[in-house]
Amino acid sequence: DPNAAPEQKLTEALGEAMTHRGFLLLTAGYFVCGYQVMFLGTHLPNFLTEAGQDPWVGATALSLIGLFNIFGTLLWGALGGKWRMKYLLTSIYLLRSTVLSVFILLPVTPVSTYLFAAAIGLLWLATVPLTSGLVARIFGLKYMATLTGIVFFSHQLGSFAGAWLGGVFFESTGSYDTIWWIGVLLGIVAAALHFPIDDKPVERMQAAEA
């Protein structure tokens, strides 16, 4: 078609994404996801041991997180086909902060730990299909993998921060309290970052569909 728009190049796609406020907000928010899940994945067993629980409680908790993550990812992914993904992501981060807060404010027991593990498992990687879906909705499918990879790099930086800072704070204070509450606060920040994302397809996508 001689009237068709020229095919977008990778450099153009990167420039488009890097100047899109929603993409930058999504990338910043995904840092928090990495921080939260890797802090828990690395330090939850030791946190529970320090709270007087047997080592098998931590192992069981991680297993439950993995189990419920399967159902949570499927559930939130399906909801993403019916509801606006940015609002679902906002809800996930707020729910994470709520679950984290309730768990550390209550006495730590095997029962409270297993309930926490199930709840956080439902929210664990629920962000993945929604984040990827939002990238595809805004920018299209051609460079979805590349753009999602950039967003995921932020997730990996957050993962490093969660694992590393958890150890730093525990070694310096003998407690996880501060780093745990930082995770709660960051969840609220992530929710605030996702809520204003402009999730409409970029003008290039809208023109192609016209």
Average predicted confidence (pLDDT) for the chain: 94
Residue 79 sits in a domain whose CATH number is 1.20.1250.20
208: pLDDT confidence band, cut at 50, 70 and 90?
low
CB 182 within 8 A of CB 57: no
In a domain, 133, yes or no: yes
Residue 206 has pLDDT above 90, yes or no: no
Out of 1-5, 25-29, 153-157, least confident range: 1-5
pLDDT digits (tens, 9 = 90+) for 58-76: 999 999 999 999 999 999 9
Residue 78 domain-assigned (yes or no): yes
Asked if the structure places residue 181 within a domain, the reply is yes
Whose CA is closest to 122, among 170, 64, 45? 64
What single-letter amino acid sits at 68? F
Q: Which of 103-107, 200-204, 205-209 is least confident?
A: 205-209
* Residue numbers of the domain that contains 121: 35-199
Give residue 7's pLDDT band: very low, low, confident or very high (50, 70, 90): confident
Summarize pLDDT for 135-183 with one digit per residue, the tens.
999 999 999 999 999 999 999 999 999 999 999 999 999 999 999 999 9
Residue 8 lies in a domain: no
Would you state the pLDDT for residue 8?
A: 85
169 falls within a domain: yes
Percentage of residues in the chain having pLDDT higher than 90: 92
Please state, in angstroms and rounded to a whole number, the distance separating the CA atoms of residues 150 and 18: 10
Residue 118 near residue 68, CB atoms below 8 Å: yes
Tell whether the model's pLDDT for residue 1 goes beyond 50.
no
Q: What is the pLDDT of residues 99-111, one digit of tens each?
A: 999 999 999 999 9
State the average pLDDT over residues 28-48: 97
3-state secondary structure at position 37? helix
Predicted local distance difference test score (pLDDT) of residue 207:
66
The answer to the question of residue 11 being in a domain is no
If one counts the domains in the chain, the total is: 1
**pLDDT band per the 50, 70, 90 thresholds, residue 203:** confident
